[in-house]
Structure 1
């Protein structure tokens, strides 16, 4: 077993990919513990007691409890997944996206770029919605 692990780290490209993945995991875990400024964490904890069995609690479950802590990475990976699904659906409806899908590598790069822009847009919309919810329903925004 130890020999196999040594063999994995003896291949430079594989070692680089593993270390990159571990680095990203560390950044995400650290970001999940950085609180968002302006959120009363005690009021938020009390609100979770009331809304645990609602859509709010389900959303918190999908982001690994980061939303309950009101952390920097509270939205998780869901905006990217949503943007990716939307772009894929647009590929079956809009001729522009159909052409991009058929262009090969250049089209794939353009679709990836559009997906990333869509992710930023969805993040902005979802974070605004969450902020309004926290402010109006839970009164936890300071």
Structure 2
């Protein structure tokens, strides 16, 4: 009798784990502020405003690109900026990878969501053009 109970429990546990494994992971919407770790001495931020589908990209608080974005399919977004056009895939943990050509040896940089509210930086800098060259 005890072996039968253990067998039923094992089958039930396997069934529960299979069902949990088949549940699709939901991908959050692209919105708010995203930030990288330090990369070659720079921090990159991107902010996404879902109301008008606009974005702004900053490197060390300097605005280097802005434009619009659109969702192509679930979790895949097309970014249409003044400096660059690219696609990003938002992961279920609300992060994405992006290649900034002149940083991180051309390897992808991970951006993590730091706030659901978009953050805008209005400080004027005189060296913005120098930072924009990192995107070329």
TM superposition score normalised by structure 2: 0.26
TM superposition score normalised by structure 1: 0.26
More helix by share: 1
More strand by share: 2
